[in-house]
Amino acid sequence: MYGAILGDIAGSRFEFSRPAGFDPKKEQLFANACFYTDDTVMTIATKYAVLRSIPYARAYGKFGRKYPKAGYGTMFKKWLDGHCELGYNSYGNGAAMRVSFIGQYFDTMEKVCEEAEKSAACTHNHPDGIRAAVATAAAVFLAREGASKKEISKYMRKNFNYKITAPLVFRRPFCKFDITSEGTMPVALRCFLESETWEECIRNVFSVRCDTDTVGCIAGGIADAFYQGTGLDEKALLYKYLVRPDDRGKSDTFLYEWALQDPNDTSSGRTI
């Protein structure tokens, strides 16, 4: 899950603009201009829901209203403001970006897919939205269980019909900012499949025009599970970007604490 959060943070500053002379292979991975987005908030909310055994919709509502300026989409913002727990038929990529913990936590593919579908249905209950969430969690699970990239690719193509055989070199000229799940998943999967390390996966994300924070979150979560970590000082980076002053000027450590929460200790951790 750390790889998903850090992928979101790394991609956050390139979502809408890139500096002159931008080189994805040399650009600094993390900079002061980086920040966490709604992808991070909802990823941690999913972990909170699982460990606290509460409905996903309730966790997403609580976290979203606690962190209202994280960059939510218009429809999700209305969902939050309306205190609603019913899906609004979204086919965006918002359900896929928040499920990495589900793929890491549950013990069987059947349970992973079941929980991923539940996590999506409370907002992204369009078939494409649900499919993307289930596919992402399944890819994380396969990666965690030691599946090869060839096996993961085959599973994604066979079970979710994602067209992911075309390499990034052929995609780059045509890629554009796209928040739909159908536009996001093939790019995220290719960024992972063409990497040799977690960092290379994120640099692949940098190399294409896309919703970089969300593609980074999805691809980064899969790569984290596959490479068994990011190879970075994860706790230091999480502390740097997740701990922020609250409305009273005091350090808000809640997101950081829950990002690091021991999955085997479901009784501890502050309640939102």
pLDDT attached to residue 18: 78
pLDDT attached to residue 109: 98
Residues of the chain with pLDDT below 70 are none
Alpha carbon distance 206, 160 (integer Å):
25
Place of tokens 């829901």: 49
Alpha carbon distance 175, 178 (integer Å):
8
Q: What is the DSSP letter of 92?
A: B
Instruction: Report whether 43 contacts 22 (CB < 8 A).
Output: no
Closest CA relative to residue 153, chosen from 179, 185, 178? 185
pLDDT attached to residue 33: 92
What is the CA angle 182-60-99, rounded to 5? Answer: 45
Sign of the dihedral through C-alpha 239, 231, 135, 144:
negative
> Which homologous superfamily does the CATH classification assign to the domain defined by 2-11+34-81+88-259?
ADP-ribosylation/Crystallin J1 (1.10.4080.10)
pLDDT attached to residue 198: 98
Q: Is residue 38 left, alpha or beta, with left meaning phi > 0 and alpha meaning psi from -120 to 50?
A: alpha
DSSP letter string, 208-262: S-S-HHHHHHHHHHHHHHHHTS-SS-HHHHHHHHH-EE-TTSSEE-HHHHHHS--
Altogether, the residues listed in the chain come to a count of 272
Question: What is the C-alpha R_g of the chain?
Answer: 17
And the tokens for 213?
């924070």
Among the residues of the chain, which ranges form H helices? Answer: 2-11, 38-52, 56-66, 74-81, 100-105, 109-121, 127-144, 149-160, 168-171, 181-193, 198-206, 212-227, 234-242, 254-259
Closest CA relative to residue 92, chosen from 132, 38, 44, 41? 132
pLDDT attached to residue 265: 84
Cα distances (angstroms) measured from residue 260 to each of 37, 54, 77, 140, 234: 17, 19, 27, 18, 10
pLDDT attached to residue 247: 75
Instruction: Report whether 176 contacts 209 (CB < 8 A).
Output: yes
pLDDT attached to residue 245: 82
Place of tokens 């396969």: 142
Task: State how far Cα 82 lies from the chain centre.
Answer: 24
And the tokens for 45?
């909310």
Tell me: the pLDDT tens digits for 134-173?
999 999 999 999 999 999 999 999 999 999 999 999 999 9
Half-sphere exposure of 64 (CA within 13 A, CB side): 27
3-state SS assignment for residue 203: helix
